[in-house]
Amino acid sequence: MNLLKLLTPILFMFLIGACSNANNELEQKLRETIINKSNLAIQKRTNYSKLSLSEMTGFKWDKFYVFEEYVSKKNIAEITGINWEGDDVPSGRRRLLFIYKNKIIDYVDFSPETFPVFFFTCGGTTQFEFGKKDDLFAVLKECDKNGCIYAMVPDRCIKTWMKNR
């Protein structure tokens, strides 16, 4: 009986993780490609490599959002204007949410602690929203004494972004 009480919370947490609809395959593909593209830029001694996000997704999208941890499903619905029946963004995670023709198509949750990728916009914004005009990204790796991050900057504004950093 005591063993059952001990295992019940563990089993519950496992089931929550197993029932997530987040696209783990896409997360792994993004991780590998972003790391490889940034390493390629370093090898070629260029500032960045280019990456078309739509070539990686395997599905059509016309817009995507980047949400920080703790954003509720209610907030996601308010921001996107689309009823979101999925989960809140979990603690310690970020979410890429892809939309096509005003329908949520897919999403990826990832940990910035284990995969420190940051998306930057071309201008000031309260919510990170990207349209098809931002499909082509400049990918670069930046390191300092605190560690390294991978920056994803829309190609259309990379020159301005590089001047201002």
User: Is 71 part of any domain?
Assistant: yes
Tally of domains in the chain: 1
User: Is 63 part of any domain?
Assistant: yes
User: Is 136 part of any domain?
Assistant: yes
pLDDT in tens, 87-116: 999 999 999 999 999 999 999 999 999 999
Name the pLDDT band for 2 (thresholds 50, 70, 90): very low
126 or 57: which leads in pLDDT: 57
**Residue appearing with tokens 């990918």:** 139
pLDDT of residue 8: 34
Q: For the chain, give the mean pLDDT.
A: 85
Which range of residues forms the domain containing residue 134? Answer: 22-164
User: Is 120 part of any domain?
Assistant: yes
User: Is 6 part of any domain?
Assistant: no
Q: Collapsing DSSP states into helix, strand and coil, what is residue 146?
A: coil
74-101 burial code (b ≥16 CB/10 A, e <16): eebeebbeeebebbbbbeebbbbbbbee
pLDDT in tens, 10-47: 333 333 333 346 788 999 999 999 999 999 999 999 99
User: Is 90 part of any domain?
Assistant: yes
pLDDT of residue 165: 78
Flag whether pLDDT at 85 surpasses 60.
yes
User: Is 8 part of any domain?
Assistant: no
State the DSSP string of 14-62: HHHHHT----HHHHHHHHHHHHHHHHHHHHTT-S-EEEEHHHHHSS--S
pTM: 0.81
User: Is 49 part of any domain?
Assistant: yes
Range with the poorest average pLDDT among 1-5, 90-94, 97-101, 146-150: 1-5
126 or 110: which leads in pLDDT: 110
28-50 burial code (b ≥16 CB/10 A, e <16): eebbebbeebbeebeeeeeebbe
Flag whether pLDDT at 3 surpasses 90.
no
pLDDT in tens, 45-57: 999 999 999 988 9
